[in-house]
């Protein structure tokens, strides 16, 4: 049975008097740092001069160059993009990662694929929220939290789990639930989820549905409302109460179509593609491809991103959202 933790399982003294350096002030960095600060913890930010630096300062943090922040900190949480972590670690963090410190991640990519190899005399842990950074912040301000995973890669002090749990409490995760896993399992499931389902799977499904309707002569606005806008409303029901709750809210006609036609769309071929995607994650092919892609300044990433940004669904989407008052502050 997977180990689960809530507020009552936490010993807050594990980090109460420590200095936590959050390296990066982007999606996770900002969300986690603000929550930790509001939880009364001592947080500093490590960055390079630029936009994030100015934002973190304007939001009340002491901001330092990465090396200086790592030097001052007891706990160093690396929240810059995965593809930048190894170089920043080598130049600025590693040299300041002295005995007894805690190195922390929110994703296991660099440890699992051997891009960062920490010294043996530090604790290495993960606290990985299962949700985007802005939701980490938003749910915390609403009195709840996003669930998170913890994992222990090195426990020299014997306190690594306590530190990870106290940090998870600081970002609000123990208000939801914290589950314990290991670096391999987090890395491989997270990559699989974002590639095959949450990001890659869902955008491909929506794009294919949109293109099918538009190519058949239906208005792009109709196609957008049907396959993109309504996706959120249906997924919200699945999120709240599983397939059963969603199916109780849709018509019987929709339910019959869902049960009989859905498996034709996501059929044997899709299962096989998912298995392939998973194998490429497990055997390091994806990690290697992504590391090399960054070494040549991301030509594939740039071209594919541009193609999707220029897709008709994006143009129609902004027009339709502009028609609806609830999207006014979201653009
Ligand atoms: N995005 C998410 O919601 C989730 C992310 N994660 C994990 O969290 C980690 C952070 O991801 P995410 O929040 O998306 O990252 P972001 O892309 O949002 O990080 C951007 C931040 O990193 C800073 N940064 C980038 N490069 C450098 C550098 N060389 N030196 C100093 N600062 C730098 C940027 O500063 P500047 O303005 O100067 O560029 C900016 O503040 C990753 O390991 C990711 O896998 C885990 C769960 C969810
Ligand atoms: C789903 C994408 C994610 O894994 C996340 C927000 O959890 C990420 O890497 O950003
Ligand atoms: Mg994730
Ligand atoms: Mg991820």
Residue 288 within any structural domain of the chain: no
The residue among 116, 198, 108, 113 whose CA lies nearest residue 149 is: 108
pLDDT score, position 328: 85
Helix-helix angle 27-38:51-58, to 10 degrees: 20
- Whichever domain contains 85, its CATH number is 3.40.50.720
Nearest CA to ligand 1 atom 48: 132
Q: Whole-angstrom Cα distance, residue 2 to residue 135?
A: 24
Task: Tell me, yes or no, if 107 is annotated catalytic.
Answer: yes
Q: Are residues 260 and 316 in the same domain?
A: yes
State pTM to two decimals: 0.97
Residue 190 within any structural domain of the chain: no
pLDDT exceeds 90 at position 171? yes
**C-alpha 131 – ligand 4 centre gap (Å):** 9
pLDDT exceeds 80 at position 329? no
| Assigned token pair, 188 | 């491989």
Residue-wise pLDDT for 266-292, tens only, equals: 999 999 999 999 999 999 999 999 999
Q: Whole-angstrom Cα distance, residue 202 to residue 208?
A: 10
Token pair 């008052």 is at which residue?
Answer: 325
Residue 112 within any structural domain of the chain: yes
- Count: domains in the chain: 2
pLDDT exceeds 60 at position 157? yes
Ligand 1 binding pocket (C-beta < 6 A) is 24-29, 47-48, 50-52, 66, 79-82, 84, 88, 106-107, 128-129, 132-133
Ligand with smallest separation from the Cα of 200: 2
pLDDT score, position 130: 97
Please report the atom of ligand 2 found closest to the CA of residue 129. 7
Q: Are residues 154 and 217 in the same domain?
A: no
Please report the atom of ligand 2 found closest to the CA of residue 191. 4
- Across the range 101-129, mean pLDDT stands at 98
pLDDT score, position 331: 55
Q: Any idea what DSSP says for residue 98?
A: -
Q: Are residues 26 and 165 in the same domain?
A: yes
Q: Whole-angstrom Cα distance, residue 21 to residue 34?
A: 12
pLDDT exceeds 80 at position 63? yes
- Give, in order, the Cα–Cα distances in Å from 289 to each of 37, 242, 300: 37, 35, 10
Q: Whole-angstrom Cα distance, residue 119 to residue 256?
A: 57
pLDDT exceeds 90 at position 330? no
Residue-wise pLDDT for 208-254, tens only, equals: 999 999 999 999 999 999 999 999 999 999 999 999 999 999 999 99
Cβ(179)–Cβ(147) below 8 Å: yes
Q: Are residues 65 and 161 in the same domain?
A: yes
| Assigned token pair, 231 | 């996706």
User: How many CB atoms within 10 Å of residue 291?
Assistant: 17
Mean pLDDT score of the chain, rounded to an integer? 97
**C-alpha 182 – ligand 3 centre gap (Å):** 14
- Give, in order, the Cα–Cα distances in Å from 269 to each of 97, 172, 205, 261, 266: 47, 40, 14, 15, 8
Q: Are residues 45 and 177 in the same domain?
A: yes
Residue 289 within any structural domain of the chain: no
| Assigned token pair, 213 | 């309707």
Q: Are residues 123 and 261 in the same domain?
A: no
Q: Are residues 175 and 204 in the same domain?
A: no
- Give, in order, the Cα–Cα distances in Å from 75 to each of 90, 152, 211, 238: 17, 14, 48, 37
Domain that holds residue 154: 4-181
Residue 287 within any structural domain of the chain: no
Residue-wise pLDDT for 1-37, tens only, equals: 999 999 999 999 999 999 999 999 999 999 999 999 9
């Amino acid at each position: 049975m997977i180990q689960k933790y809530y507020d009552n399982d936490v010993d807050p003294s594990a980090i109460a008097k420590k200095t936590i350096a959050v390296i990066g002030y982007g999606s996770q960095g900002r969300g986690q740092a603000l929550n930790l600060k509001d939880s009364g913890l001592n947080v500093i930010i490590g960055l390079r001069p630029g936009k994030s630096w100015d934002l973190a300062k304007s939001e009340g943090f002491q901001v330092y160059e990465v090396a200086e922040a790592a030097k001052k900190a007891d706990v160093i949480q690396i929240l810059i993009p995965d593809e930048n972590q190894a170089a920043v670690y080598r130049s600025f963090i590693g040299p300041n990662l002295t005995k007894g410190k805690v190195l922390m991640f929110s994703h296991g990519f660099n440890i699992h694929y051997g891009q960062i190899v920490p010294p043996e005399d530090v604790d290495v842990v993960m606290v990985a929220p299962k949700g985007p950074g802005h939701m980490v912040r938003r749910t915390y301000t609403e009195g709840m939290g996003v669930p998170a995973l913890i994992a222990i890669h090195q426990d020299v002090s014997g306190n690594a789990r306590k530190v990870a749990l106290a940090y998870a409490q600081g970002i609000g995760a123990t208000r939801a639930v914290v589950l314990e896993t290991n670096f391999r399992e987090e890395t491989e499931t997270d990559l699989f989820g974002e590639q095959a389902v949450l990001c890659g799977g869902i955008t491909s499904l929506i794009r294919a549905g949109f293109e099918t309707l538009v190519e058949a002569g239906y208005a792009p606005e109709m196609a957008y409302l049907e396959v993109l806008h309504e996706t959120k409303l249906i997924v919200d029901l699945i999120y709240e109460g599983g397939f059963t709750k969603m199916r109780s809210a849709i018509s019987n006609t929709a339910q019959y179509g869902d049960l009989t036609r859905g498996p034709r769309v996501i059929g044997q071929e899709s299962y096989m593609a998912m298995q392939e995607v998973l194998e490429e994650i497990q055997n390091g092919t994806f990690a290697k491809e992504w590391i090399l892609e960054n070494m040549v300044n991301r030509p594939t990433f740039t071209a594919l991103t541009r193609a999707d940004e220029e897709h008709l669904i994006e143009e129609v989407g902004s027009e339709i959202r502009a028609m609806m008052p609830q999207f006014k502050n979201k653009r």
